[in-house]
Structure 1
Amino acid sequence: MNNASIPALIFPAISLLCLAYTNRFLALTTLARGILKEHSVAPQPHWEVQLINIRHRLHLIKRMQMLGLAALLLAALSMGLMYFSVPWYSGEITLALALVCFVSSLATCVHEITLSIDAIEVEFKRAKVPEI
């Protein structure tokens, strides 16, 4: 395996993550539209809490997607730098930056999942579902 093929190893992972992030985004926007419609007819205090949470999560998903795309672009740039034998450190530094973006995207995803759990906990408490 030559050096230029090493950055290519993260392409499938980034592509799958971006697809998963897009699915989360679409599900949240659908949920938000439903809650907003219901809230405009009969405002409920708990909906405001959920809408704030959803807005925050949508911004996190945007950040996750941007970091994932930055990782993809940096990995592609890294491949080009390594392929054209630009000084060795250029490609490796660019690959390191791609990996930092990739890991940051995953860390942001963990934070968004935590907020997702917090959001459903609000509904469980409102419905008086016993804690486990």
Structure 2
Amino acid sequence: MINLTTPALLFPATSLLLLAYTNRFLVLAQLIRNLQNQGQNDERGLVIRQILNLRKRIVLTRYMQALGVSSFIMCAISMYLIFVDCNRWAEVFFGISLMLLVASLLVSLWEIMISTRAIEITLEDMAQKLEKRGILVE
């Protein structure tokens, strides 16, 4: 049996998670703006490869945020149900809240894996440029 403080424990964690997701979204927006400037220069090959990567990351960030917000809402409903003495339903909604939070974290992990690929693409491009100049030899 859960009491009112059990779902309340999730509020700070979920709030911080949503803040982190918002920061990720803002970083992606900044990357896209920077990429737009690069696309006007001579780095179009790199830009094309990064665009595909960024599109996936934006979609995943949207899902992360939606799952996180849904978890937050289910947690709030769970607290309300405890308040009106519907403990069985409160447990169900709290369980759903936890599952949504875990799903959000798994999507976040997926997005992190894709973002590391973006770094690899940039490093490959930098290495190719240095090799052309004779600076980097593997």
**TM-score scaled to structure 2, two decimals?**
0.86
Aligned residue in 2 for 1:93? 92
Structure 1 distance, partners of 2:29, 2:53, is: 12
* Superposition CA RMSD, Å: 1.7
1:66 correspondence with 2:52: no
Deviation of the 1:128 alpha carbon: 2.1
Aligned residue in 1 for 2:117? 118
SS at match of 1:97: helix
What is the 5 A alignment of 1:1-132? 3-42=3-42, 44-86=44-86, 88-128=87-127
* Structure 1, gaps ≥5 residues long: none
* Structure 2, gaps ≥5 residues long: 129-135
Structure 2 distance, partners of 1:96, 1:89, is: 11
Structure 1 distance, partners of 2:118, 2:31, is: 12
Following TM superposition, the consecutive aligned residue runs of length 4 or more in structure 1 with deviations greater than 4 angstroms are none
Deviation of the 1:41 alpha carbon: 4.7
Identity %, equivalent residues: 35
Q: Greater shift after overlay, 115-124 or 36-45? A: 36-45
**TM-score scaled to structure 1, two decimals?**
0.90
If you compute each CA radius of gyration, which structure gives the higher value, 1 or 2? 2
